[in-house]
């Protein structure tokens, strides 16, 4: 029998591709904002976006893990001049953010993610540990998970230990009986490993492990997951 009782998963770039999802959500949100305002807005370059973001975080470090508030502040940065009334501005920002979130949840699962989760959920407790703001309950997979932890819930980002500690608290499963699965060598693999949690690295692009001399167990497509899991951790 497997010693693993709980499997936790990262979301972005582990269950779906995030870059194209965010680019599309961002583009559509900008169009939505301009349509509502009735004017073209100078959004600036990508470098400008990063600068605005970093300045906001410098003023309020909690924005580093509160992605929702960060996004609202960025929307405000671009649109506040169009509103005389602060209340109207706030309503607008909340609506714009809701629109973005809806777009951000238009994801395409990697092949076999859902069927693998379905199978695992019959045998193991499953949890989500994400630094992003995707909500599994807005997708078709929410029912398979026992819990979901975002950065805002634990006021920090992986690889810090708070996501993992919260998972232990909610599941009552020790780290040594937990497996964490994610794409990010540092945030997922090193973060979990440091606490004695077993890991499986989703290495879609088949890149070399260069972090240390101890490459983690890895899989490059979801159809391999169950077999590789069982070879390493038993049934
Ligand atoms: Mg990820």
Between CA 18 and CA 167 the distance in angstroms is 23
Tell whether 12 and 121 lie within a shared domain: yes
Q: Helix or strand or coil: residue 199?
A: strand
Say what the pLDDT of residue 36 is: 97
The pLDDT of 121-148, averaged and rounded, is 96
Say what the pLDDT of residue 215 is: 97
| Domains contained in the chain, number | 2
Tell whether 125 and 73 lie within a shared domain: no
- Which protein residues have their CB within 5 A of the ion that is ligand 1? 10, 12-13, 183-184
Whether residue 12 is contained in a domain is answered as yes
Say whether pLDDT at 140 is over 80: yes
Tell whether 120 and 227 lie within a shared domain: yes
Distance 180 CA to ligand 1 centre (A): 12
Distance 56 CA to ligand 1 centre (A): 23
Distance 161 CA to ligand 1 centre (A): 16
The pLDDT of 54-63, averaged and rounded, is 96
Distance 12 CA to ligand 1 centre (A): 4
Spatial strand order in the sheet of 6-9: 147-150, 125-130, 6-9, 178-182, 198-202, 218-219
The pLDDT of 148-167, averaged and rounded, is 98
The pLDDT of 160-182, averaged and rounded, is 98
Say what the pLDDT of residue 148 is: 98
Say whether pLDDT at 1 is over 80: no
Last residue of a domain, one of 88, 104, 120: 104
Q: Sorting pLDDT into bands at 50, 70 and 90, what band is 69?
A: very high
Tell whether 98 and 148 lie within a shared domain: no
How far is residue 123 from each of residues 1, 2, 4, 149, 194, measured CA to CA in Å? 11, 10, 10, 21, 26
Say whether pLDDT at 14 is over 90: yes
pTM value is: 0.95
Say whether pLDDT at 57 is over 90: yes
Domain region containing 40: 19-104
Q: Sorting pLDDT into bands at 50, 70 and 90, what band is 120?
A: very high
Say what the pLDDT of residue 235 is: 75
Say what the pLDDT of residue 55 is: 96
Distance 191 CA to ligand 1 centre (A): 13
Distance 21 CA to ligand 1 centre (A): 13
């Amino acid at each position: 029998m497997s010693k693993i009782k709980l499997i936790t998963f990262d979301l972005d770039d582990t269950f779906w591709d995030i870059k194209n999802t965010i680019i599309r959500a961002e583009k559509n949100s900008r169009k939505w904002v301009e349509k509502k305002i009735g004017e073209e807005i100078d959004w600036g370059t990508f470098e400008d976006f990063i600068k605005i973001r970093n300045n906001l975080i410098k003023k309020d470090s909690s924005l580093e893990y509160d992605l929702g508030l960060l996004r609202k502040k960025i929307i405000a940065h671009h649109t506040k001049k169009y509103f005389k009334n602060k209340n109207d501005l706030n309503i607008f920002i909340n609506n714009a953010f809701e629109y973005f979130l809806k777009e951000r949840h238009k994801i395409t699962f990697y092949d076999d993610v859902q069927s693998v989760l379905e199978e695992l959920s019959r045998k193991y407790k499953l949890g989500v540990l994400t630094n992003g703001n995707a909500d599994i309950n807005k997708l078709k997979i929410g029912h398979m998970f026992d819990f979901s932890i975002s950065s805002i819930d634990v006021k920090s980002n992986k690889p810090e230990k708070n996501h993992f500690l919260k998972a232990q608290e909610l599941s009552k499963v020790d780290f040594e009986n937990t497996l964490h699965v994610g794409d990010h060598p540092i945030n997922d693999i090193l973060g979990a490993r440091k606490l004695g949690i077993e890991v499986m690295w989703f290495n879609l692009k088949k890149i070399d492990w260069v972090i240390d001399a101890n490459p983690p167990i890895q899989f490059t497509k979801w159809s391999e997951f169950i077999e590789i899991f069982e070879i390493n951790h038993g049934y």
